[in-house]
A and B are shown apart, each in its own frame.
Chain A
């Protein structure tokens, strides 16, 4: 082609690219984290702050909460979980489709926090697997964003079998 013709005039200029399947799928998945907010306690205030415009989690593709577990792939457990709520949380987790990730938001979801009594579940990892713990009572929005970025990093470098276990 001659040098004065723009590349866009040639539809064949970017007809294919090569990459690894896991990197490509990981790149796609890490920017479409649809969170399901399982919000039970005062950490909700900080969750609202982090969802709001100044912190703009849409930069990470994680700003669109889905209020059905069937449509979401990131379970954010925000706040204290009691023994009475534990079956509900477990049911919500089981309803989510693969791939799914879980964030324990704040110390209560992480470990029960300062509660150690008859009522409180001492950490949601007793009943469901947790991918990322964000400490703090409540966590700063910066910590949450750091957590989301760490999770994105992990998704980007993870294996993503989509057809069989080996592909």
Chain B
């Protein structure tokens, strides 16, 4: 191990964490060449491939590496939160219609594609180069949205020529689609405000309706990871890198293989930014249609959009020097502090919004980034609840049809392409995200601002 492993958790979460191999994975990540500080793990850590999910690792530019396993297959999987001008009581009578419109306008599940948005090769190139701005330029959102997306909705250095034709084919019909598994678009309301001043800065108030979208780069990103992982396995041999697990395959940042992955990863990340931008547009249209009002009367505005599977160049103070590092966040969210120039101007006084989805039956959280995270965790916090039951286990304990009724009894209207997916995503399959958020808040990595409870959800 080149550095220590550091896990943020309490005793209750540690009991689960010790039950899988994620701690060994924290150790393995500590072997990466050029790793700085520590191999970090957030309290929602669980077993991944190579890196644990919930892992953060930063590497130096001169002797460090980049590892696709430190990003994951779903490049720039992330979360976007829309706040609305509507209170829960105003939406409640038409909630089922809102969810049905979202389900109709945002394709979900396996094989989902948009009939209204088949990309040409030139379009796809534009998406990969310009990210969310590509969608805004086509009327799918507002220019103001871009200021409230991590990296402005476009990661620099994207090179579509380094994305395989096969990856392009997988993405060509999937822009503006949700996908399946744990991806969702959820209508929520602000159930509790913990920090009124920061909530006000984020434009949040009790009872307000919000919409959370969780999705990523779809098949395009999956294929970019698959293609480059293969190259990296060869690069490990070529550069004589000694690793305890082949799935940590990596290449020096300043190598043809490392540069190629970063450029392709940025292209996939931009596809993901555009994907969430297109879906958000259709969510706005869904509310307008179901409520019988103009889209601009819904007051649905982007609060923030964060990545939680990404590798990015960011600057930190290391041993009293401003140092550029490659920060891998795999199942971890950037949590920048008040005053940071990359925190949007509207939130600069209070810190970057940190969006933490929970399960579909309980709650999600909005937190604010802190100076402590900036010095301890390369400006990172947790990303979600983390599973406590495998998908197979969840399917065994839950009859597929019963989940819809159980969710309705909890006051959550669910529409999904696959009943099996809903069974796998039942609330009991996940840890209580309040426990995870409690650790992050207690450790001072991000502070609790508001809790959001679900009203309706669409899933793959």
Query: Do A and B interact with each other, yes or no?
Result: no
Interface residues of A (CB under 8 A from B): none
